[in-house]
Structure 1
Amino acid sequence: MMEPYQILASAVIIQAVKDYRKALRFVKHHPPDLDIDLQQHAPQQHARRDQVIKNENERDAIEHFFRSGWFAMLSNLDGELLLKKVCEMEEG
């Protein structure tokens, strides 16, 4: 039987994977339009750009987490390998 701290650690990692997949999907389907002139476009384009930036930041933060010492304390998994596997799942 798992200890309560192990259950919590697993839940943190599972949620991070879910959030990472969600961010990857969003960025894949909404690539950033770096040429957009926000001064001349509708508010919905501003909102879309904000969402792209939010999801890119989320993706980057979760990648940092999986490569961190904190992740290593929570799990004996290889964070880099986990990132690779999740990316492969989203590409397939």
Structure 2
Amino acid sequence: RLSAEDRSPDEELAITLDAREVLFPEVSVFGERELVRLSPPKSSTSKLCDSTPCQVPLPSEPTRDSSTSRPSRHTHLPRTTQS
């Protein structure tokens, strides 16, 4: 009797885990991206330093230029996102 009952909950647990695994993939993708960014800095701080400064100034410069034509750019961004 214990064996039969033990199998029932096991099967239910397997289903619950499966359903959770299916929902986790989406969250995992986001978590992995953030984790990858936070993990490398500790290991390859030098490599990230080269990439970080290059990426920061790039977006910062265009953002200033965009400030002038922000309304035009902003209208295009939301439009593409909705499309």
TM-score, normalised to structure 2's length? 0.34
Q: Which has the larger radius of gyration?
A: 2
TM-score, normalised to structure 1's length? 0.32
Higher percent of residues as helix: 2
